[in-house]
A and B are shown apart, each in its own frame.
Chain A
Amino acid sequence: MCGSGASAQLSGTLSAVSDYRYRGITFSDLRPAAQAGLTYDDPKGWYAGAFGSTVQLNPPGRSSSNFQTIVYGGYATRLSSGISVEAGGDYSAFAGSSDLNYGEVFVGGAIENVNARIYYSPRYFGQPPRALYGEINATLPLFDRVGLHLHAGFLRYSYDSPYLPLYGIAPTHNVVDGRIGLRADLDRFQLEIAWVGVSNHAAAYQITGRTSPNGVVAAVSFSF
């Protein structure tokens, strides 16, 4: 018997991470961070949400920031083929360092255990050049409560960082990041340990004020 099925859903997470990695780059100076997220799903496919995280960003020559907020929204629908498609936008704001603020739009698709998105930002982290970021994420179930999570991302941007030569790194416009994680879902708690790598450790020095070596990160989350 069909119900009205018109109910919206509100869901969220509270997380503690040993190192907040954003697209492979440490946003927490390799230190732990606290995070929270809230998402509203409209019955017709519209969604909106907000995410907040403590950060430790010390961009050279600019004021530092210790909190990032991302607000986002969009529309997603499931096609008869089983593929979900979406389009939306998000805006990142950094407390105390508003010149890092930036917005982007994205389109994406997902099937059961794989999703992919492409993001476009006209001013990535407040820098003049445009940036394009593509990512693909996959989950491979291993056991009932444990899955392998894979992420690969590719950033294409046209900003020539003046800091790269300081590290003997040739200017690059392409950055690849990857993440391989083992995640356990135990009712409302999730535990994850993951290896994170990025092709250019100094790629975001002008944002973070430090390099981002490859390394292991851990996270514990509570979903509600």
Chain B
Amino acid sequence: MKVRTAWLHALLVGALCALVFAARADGVDPVAEPKAADREVLVMLRLPPLHFRPDAGYVGGYATQPGSAARQRTAEALAAQFKLRIRESWPMPALGVDCFVMEAPEDLPLGPLIERMALDARVESVQAVNLFRVLAHDDPLYRLQPTATLWHLDELHRVATGRNVRVAAIDSGVELDHPDLRGRVVLARNFVDTRVGVAEWHGTAVAGIIGARADNTVGIVGVAPDAQLMALRACWQLPGDASAAVCSSFTLAKALQFAIDNNAKVINLSLGGPRDRLLERLLAVAASRGAVIVAAADPRFADGGFPASFPGVLAVAADDVHDAAEEIYLAPGRDIPTTLPGQRWGLVGGSSYAAAQVAGLVALLVDLAPEQNSRQIRESLNTSELSVTSPPHRAIVDACAAVAKTVGACACECRIARGGSALQAH
């Protein structure tokens, strides 16, 4: 019997080694970029809470609980019944669902399909896969307008640098070994494909604006140079236009779930697209757990589009947008120096980067007042009572005033009315 046990051990060790090797190999093999999502639906199946079951073998997580096989079986039955093909799945315990991506054949209209699937008792919810685009423009002729000067970053960094604040940049890939970003990203994940180290334009630019290393003799200084950056690749760069990238409901949902799981305090979404029920639910969970969500406002929509217009989300547009809704904050949006792939730097502009700067500023505010909740942090940015613009615009972000409002003392040029008295910076 001992001989048989030894053989069983040897067999299992060999199988495990083969699987480890296979898993590692998967991580470096490039795969094709995701297909267009116009034939895909997201089908959510209920994920029961983790609970005692003696056959689970002491496992700790949702992904390895035996019930995942049951949901896979249910998904296969649904796919067979509705003539779909399962492409991928992902547990989303923040919502209590397993999310399955299913592809419909060309001749099957998605609208009626979704309506029929929603009536099925096995389905928690179902929706189409939406596409989102990053909100940038790359006109190189914007006049130089250094944002560090407008926000007095040098002075702000004397009181806060975003230390220990986790900022999730949900975007395209970030060049992790860029001289201004090396060692600045504490967590990097790719939710688009299995490639590692994907360096893309938009994600690298956004990450640099938020948290590029300070005092390293090269490049720029991030708004929050000591924040803990999480580079979550949910968007992929389009061929032929380096500054353009798209993301899908599914990749964004996976990244949001990861940001929630890893206690991101600030989540930056420099992208926009149609309303999306799955993403709305995840944003609501993230906000309820204390994350401040910053989203770029799409200039094509008065309310900023989605996700900027979702309640509780801090919507940011570039300050050259003149018809933004009053709820949308305005931040410098032109000639912003930042990191670019290929160990380069360049000037960028657009609401994507305006939002990234505000995400960095929020990280500074959280650093200064970690006890404040996300609503208080958001409200700190509303410094209209200090506005010196004429007529006053409540939504122009004044970093010094926001810091002063958060801590009750001025860190740089600011004026604040609190309890009827004013604080004046020196």
Contacts and interface: CB of A to CB of B under 8 A. Distances in A.
Contacts of A12: 55, 66, 70
A216 B72 CA distance: 31
Given A3-B123, A137-B60, A216-B9, A188 B50 contact: no
A137 B12 contact: no
A96 B122 CA distance: 41
A19 B59 CA distance: 17
A186 interface: yes
B341 to A, nearest CB: 26
Given A186-B19, A193-B16, A224-B73, A11 B121 contact: no
A115 B50 contact: yes
Contact of B51 (A3, A5, A88, A143): A88
A138 B125 CA distance: 30
Interface stretch (B22-30, B165-173, B382-390): B22-30
Query: Interface size bucket, A side?
Result: 35 or more
B53 A51 contact: yes
A37 B19 contact: no
B67 A11 contact: yes
B380 to A, nearest CB: 24
A3 B120 contact: yes
A89 to B, nearest CB: 9
B48 A3 contact: no
Interface stretch (B110-118, B201-209, B217-225, B230-238): B110-118
B239 interface: no
A99 B52 CA distance: 24
A3 to B, nearest CB: 4
Contact of B70 (A32, A184, A224): A224
B38 to A, nearest CB: 17
A30 to B, nearest CB: 8
A182 B54 CA distance: 18
A110 B50 contact: yes
B404 to A, nearest CB: 32
Nearest to A152: B58
A157 to B, nearest CB: 19
Contact of B94 (A51, A82, A137): A82
A35 to B, nearest CB: 7
A74 B4 contact: no
Nearest to B11: A218
B301 to A, nearest CB: 23
A210 interface: no
B60 A139 contact: yes
B349 interface: no
Contacts of B285: 80, 82
A127 interface: no
B16 A182 contact: yes
A223 B68 contact: yes
Given A82-B260, A146-B23, A193 B4 contact: no
Contacts of B260: 82
Given A41-B48, A183-B64, A1 B9 contact: no
Given A1-B125, A39-B66, A137 B16 contact: no
B117 A112 contact: no
Contacts of B49: 45, 76-78, 84-86, 110
Nearest to A148: B60
A95 interface: no
Contacts of B261: 82, 112
Nearest to A41: B48
A221 B53 CA distance: 14
Contacts of A85: 49
A90 B54 CA distance: 10
A78 B96 contact: yes
Interface in A70-94: 70, 72, 74, 76-78, 80-82, 84-86, 88, 90
B282 to A, nearest CB: 12
B46 A51 contact: no
B13 interface: yes
Contacts of B46: 5, 7, 9, 43
The 6 tightest CB contacts between A and B, nearest first, are A37-B55, A143-B23, A11-B70, A223-B69, A3-B123, A139-B60
Interface of A: 1-7, 9-13, 15-16, 18-19, 30-32, 35-37, 39, 41, 43, 45, 47, 49, 51, 70, 72, 74, 76-78, 80-82, 84-86, 88, 90, 106, 108, 110, 112-115, 117, 135, 137-139, 141-147, 149-151, 179, 181-188, 190-193, 216, 218-221, 223-224
Given A90-B52, A137-B60, 14 more contacts: A2-B277, A5-B46, A5-B125, A37-B55, A51-B54, A82-B260, A86-B51, A108-B52, A110-B60, A114-B60, A143-B20, A144-B194, A219-B57, A224-B70
18 contacts: A1-B115, A5-B121, A7-B74, A9-B46, A9-B67, A11-B67, A39-B66, A45-B49, A78-B93, A80-B289, A82-B261, A88-B51, A110-B51, A114-B61, A145-B23, A149-B60, A184-B20, A221-B55
